[in-house]
Amino acid sequence: MLMKHVMNSQLSSNTCMLLASSSVFRRQHFLIRSLGVGGGIHHNTYCANMQQHLSSVEVDAESVIRAITPVLDHSRYKGQAGKIAVIGGCREYTGAPYFAAISALKIGADLSHVFCTKDAAPVIKSYSPELIVHPILEESYSVREEDKKIISGKVLAEVDKWMERFDCLVIGPGLGRDPFLLDCVSEIITHARQSNIPIVIDGDGLFLVTNNLNLVSGYALAVLTPNVNEYKRLVQKVLSSEVDDVAGTQQLLSLSKQIGGVTVLKKGKSDLISDGDTVKSVSIYGSLRRCGGQGDILSGSVAVFLSWARQLAADPNSNLSSKNPAVLGCIAGSAILRKAASLAFSTKKRSTVTGDIIECLGKSVEDVCPAC
Amino acid sequence: MLMKHVMNSQLSSNTCMLLASSSVFRRQHFLIRSLGVGGGIHHNTYCANMQQHLSSVEVDAESVIRAITPVLDHSRYKGQAGKIAVIGGCREYTGAPYFAAISALKIGADLSHVFCTKDAAPVIKSYSPELIVHPILEESYSVREEDKKIISGKVLAEVDKWMERFDCLVIGPGLGRDPFLLDCVSEIITHARQSNIPIVIDGDGLFLVTNNLNLVSGYALAVLTPNVNEYKRLVQKVLSSEVDDVAGTQQLLSLSKQIGGVTVLKKGKSDLISDGDTVKSVSIYGSLRRCGGQGDILSGSVAVFLSWARQLAADPNSNLSSKNPAVLGCIAGSAILRKAASLAFSTKKRSTVTGDIIECLGKSVEDVCPAC
């Protein structure tokens, strides 16, 4: 019935839109079948592998990508394909926020911003004129104790000026661990949450929220993307236990549930994704190379796909309205990074660096979901 | 008769010049036919589409490009193909002025300058050694109240040293909205106008002139290049009304007329151009990608083509002397950006970024108007 309604409403539109929307509809319909319906663990053929412990379900990640990637047409204007902001970059780290922000553009976002410290800004700007870099964060060494409150207020006011324009924030790449800076970022997270802006948290952002879980607890639009060590600290803090590799899927489910349904993307040989309701696995592609920076690509990619999935989910006529956009974003981001890493490795082998993988993001998306 | 005179005068020159000039003449002659004669809306085949509202006329943009692009020959020296200056670039924005300035070079200008703040200069310089970057603008945060007058005078004196050498200024890419900086830029616009230097105004430059229309009102060598939002603010301010999409062409004509014949290039699915006398449309090519930065390419491109058209129009023997060089520059700049964006999109698809489009500017010009 819904399908009929959607199809009918499309018939009243012009031919171009009809084709585009039908294509979107077919993709979404396929996605529903790929992900299963009704929530919970989907009992498809993968369930044959279930043993005594709960198993994750390998999803058809390419179908997810096709379902959530927007159809491009001439009526679209700048910004509609996504405006992403990365909060990160300090005196010590400048590569990570650049990798996250440029990855967002290469996936297909229209605008990508970076909010970093004053020291980091000229360097990040110099990596690429494509990014809009705001030199507004401050570290303790440059702030007198008595000025902290005023400066903190200024930082927050500056971010707030932009906040509502963003479709997603990535918090953490190259953030560092300066206490004053992290206090400011805690406030930024709180404001993002008040404005219902999705947040993807990685790197030092995970250090921050692991020590202050209230910042994200219960926020359905938050995504955590821990690597092995970050996951270990999260499990210790949230579940007061050690990582259990045998019952890993169940533990991830419990972890996510315990933080109130925040989506957790646990990076590894297979990437596991849970929102406390389901556990999905992405194992396709991938590379043997473990150069630093791939996590930054992932966080930027997840941010874009999450934004796209959320746009679609907001449409009551969409078949995605019942799906968690954070989970869809993680599945798509994980698969695209793994595909790009695989492509880069096929030519660059041991010498593959993060920039090589970023250069393959466009082809990875195009191979799965042609732009036209 | 004019043709005979031109041909005769060319016969007295050397063979190379004869060939070059004849070629220019043929192009211009074709252009006259393409654009129509006698001003006003040209009643050609496109007028069949005119309904109750005034329609824009799709121009033969490629003929315009061929008519105004200078023929290269060995007698030419550095600077004759255009000296462009971009006024923009502040602590926050550095990509935009770079895009505008490098685009001018890639179209074929000989020299491209940027006048920006001291913070922005090292970053813009780092993007490319091709640009001449002047770190002379100041923002309020770096200037004490009591020093403002002296510093404002110094900024203006520095720009004035160069002013007469430029064929066109691009004002606004990455300018920011600092009040002191905008005050200085208002003075720069006034001086440019006194010196009869054409100005292309985009981005934050539009914010400035929308709030102070006297800066450009009645200046025939001014071009405004608003996007959807910037156009909306202009219409509200100038016509005290909202944007009328149904009678859009008539509204654009009225807008331009109301600002005293300033040329307005309204960016959109089709780019519409008016000087208060005619409304031309450029719809060829184009890309489905809406990444930020394309407006900066356009402003730099329009600046170069406007300079070229003005050089030709200054020749009383030229068939272009009755044409508005600002309109010709807009038509050519619009078409070349759209062609470059189309070329970049054909290979880069969703991952297309502004730098990819800039890399296609040269081929776009060459395809339409081979250098030799």
Cβ–Cβ contact A131 with B under 8 A: yes
**Among candidate residues A59, A25, A28, the one with its CA nearest the CA of residue A42:** A59
Tens digit of each residue's pLDDT, chain B (372 residues): 333 333 333 333 443 444 445 555 556 655 555 564 333 333 333 333 444 567 778 999 999 999 999 998 888 888 888 999 999 999 999 999 999 999 999 999 999 999 999 999 999 999 999 999 999 999 998 899 999 999 999 999 999 999 999 999 999 999 999 999 999 999 999 999 999 999 999 999 999 999 999 999 999 999 999 999 999 999 999 999 999 989 999 999 999 999 999 999 999 999 999 999 999 999 998 888 888 899 999 999 999 999 999 999 888 888 887 899 999 999 999 999 999 999 999 999 999 999 999 999 999 999 999 998
Q: What is the pTM of this model?
A: 0.87
Distance CA A67, CA A62 (A): 9
Nearest-CA residue of chain A relative to B345? A371
Given a contact cutoff of 8 angstroms between Cβ atoms, the answer to whether A331 and A62 are in contact is no
Would you give the end-to-end CA distance of chain A in angstroms? 29
Does B110 carry a binding-site annotation? Answer: no
Distance CA B196, CA B205 (A): 18
Q: Which residues pair with A116 in a beta bridge?
A: A135
Nearest-CA residue of chain A relative to B267? A77
pLDDT at B37: 37
Pairing of β B57-58 and β B263-266? unpaired
- Tokens 């406007």 label which residue? B306
Asked whether the beta carbons of residue B127 and residue A129 sit closer than 8 angstroms, the reply is: yes
A33-43 tens-digit pLDDT:
556 433 333 33
Does B244 carry a binding-site annotation? Answer: no
Give me the interface pTM, i.e. the ipTM.
0.84
Query: What would you measure as the largest C-alpha separation in chain A, in angstroms?
Result: 64
- Tokens 């990444």 label which residue? B291
Does A294 carry a binding-site annotation? Answer: yes
pLDDT at A372: 85
**Interface mutation target, options A17, A68, A83, A130, chain B, most CBs of B under 10 Å:** A130
Q: Which residues pair with A145 in a beta bridge?
A: none
Per CB-CB distance under 8 Å, the chain A contacts of B290 are 76-81, 110
Q: Which residues pair with A9 in a beta bridge?
A: none
Does B227 carry a binding-site annotation? Answer: yes
Given a contact cutoff of 8 angstroms between Cβ atoms, the answer to whether B357 and B286 are in contact is no
Intervals of chain A under pLDDT 70: 1-53
Q: Which residues pair with B87 in a beta bridge?
A: B115, B171
Asked whether the beta carbons of residue B269 and residue A108 sit closer than 8 angstroms, the reply is: no
Residue B289, min C-alpha distance to chain A (Å) = 7
**Interface mutation target, options A23, A113, A115, A132, chain B, most CBs of B under 10 Å:** A132
Phi-psi category of A134—alpha, beta or left, where left has phi over 0 and alpha has psi -120 to 50? Answer: beta
DSSP string, A89-145: --SS--HHHHHHHHHHHHHT-SEEEEEEETTHHHHHHHH-TTSEEEEEE--GGGS-G
pLDDT at A26: 58
Cβ–Cβ contact B347 with A under 8 A: no
Angle, alpha carbons B213-B214-B219 (nearest 5°): 100
Distance CA B117, CA A160 (A): 25
Q: From the DSSP assignment, how many helices (H) and strands (E) are in chain B?
A: 14, 10
Give kind and range of the element (H or E) at residue B370: none
Which of residues 280 through 299 in chain B touch A, CB cutoff 8 A? Answer: 286, 288-294
Question: Under 8 Å CB-to-CB from B102, ≥6 apart: which residues?
Answer: B112, B127, B128, B130, B131, B300, B358
Q: Which residues pair with A113 in a beta bridge?
A: A85, A132
Q: What domains, with CATH codes, occur in chain A?
A: 59-71+79-368 (3.40.1190.20)
Residue A92, min C-alpha distance to chain B (Å) = 19
Nearest-CA residue of chain A relative to B95? A129
Angle, alpha carbons B298-B304-B308 (nearest 5°): 140
Angle, alpha carbons A367-A74-A112 (nearest 5°): 65
Asked whether the beta carbons of residue B269 and residue A132 sit closer than 8 angstroms, the reply is: no
Given a contact cutoff of 8 angstroms between Cβ atoms, the answer to whether A107 and A361 are in contact is yes
Burial of A294 (0-12, 13-18, 19+ CB in 10 A): buried
**Interface mutation target, options B350, B352, B353, B356, chain A, most CBs of A under 10 Å:** B350
DSSP string, B253-301: HHHHHHTTS-EEEE-SSSEEEESSS-EEEE-SS--S---TTHHHHHHHH
3-state secondary structure of A23: helix
Does B194 carry a binding-site annotation? Answer: no
Cβ–Cβ contact A122 with B under 8 A: yes
